[in-house]
Amino acid sequence: MRSFCTVLLVLLFLCGAVLTGSRAESSSLNGDYVEVRTASVFAGACHYNGELTTAGREALIAWNVNSGVWDGVDLAGLRAMAVVSSGANLGDPKAARRSELIVDESATYAQTIALSKALKSRYEAALGEVIVIRNAPVNFKHEGTVYSVSSPAVASIEAEAMPDDLCCTMPQLVWYEPFVPLLQRRVGYTGKAFYAGGAAGDPWQRTGENSAFYGSFSF
């Protein structure tokens, strides 16, 4: 009897380990990513220093999930934006942040919860305190090296690759790191980005500067 109980406990432990491992392996996402800040991420030293203490306190972050599952929920095809703000330049790792997270309205309740949990757990440092999570339209277009992301009447990003990939030939002029670890990270030129204002802070708009990062995310 004792031997049988021991075998049963071992089998239960092994089954639990398999299920846990299987759950962990299935909780992963990948897709396209773009961010825009209110400060240039590629610039001369004087320009960078001039903005360091007076700008760069806001950012827009966007994800387009190509494939993946989190907590057993399929999230393929979902899109999300985050509006991040702080009282200091976001390049400061100690800067207290707060954010508004927008998940595309096509997401079900379960998908909204799962995607929010995934982003908050993986990118807590980047997002800071998430004060609002809501559903609204989020459009994400990625064609070649051109990104167009928007949540109509709330926020938008228009960004594209820099000419001749200058961020790669002149890496000493790249002053920040993306909020999210990226595969094939590139610096982008921001044609226009804006936030209409709301839970995450006051309205802002930026045009015509090298203030974007883009690439692929995976976790």
Q: Supply the pTM of this predicted model.
A: 0.87
The continuous run of DSSP H or E covering 210 comes out as strand 204-218
Exposed, middle or buried by CB within 10 Å (0-12, 13-18, 19+), for 219?
Answer: middle
Joined tokens for residue 130: 């998430």
- pLDDT per position in the chain (219 positions), as tens? 434 333 333 333 334 433 344 444 458 999 999 999 999 999 999 999 999 999 999 999 999 999 999 999 999 999 999 999 999 999 998 999 999 999 999 999 999 999 999 999 999 999 999 999 999 999 999 999 999 999 999 999 999 998 876 667 688 899 999 999 999 899 999 999 999 999 999 999 999 999 999 999 999
CB atoms closer than 10 angstroms to residue 40: 23
Which residue type occupies 31? Answer: G
The reported pLDDT for the residue numbered 1 is: 44
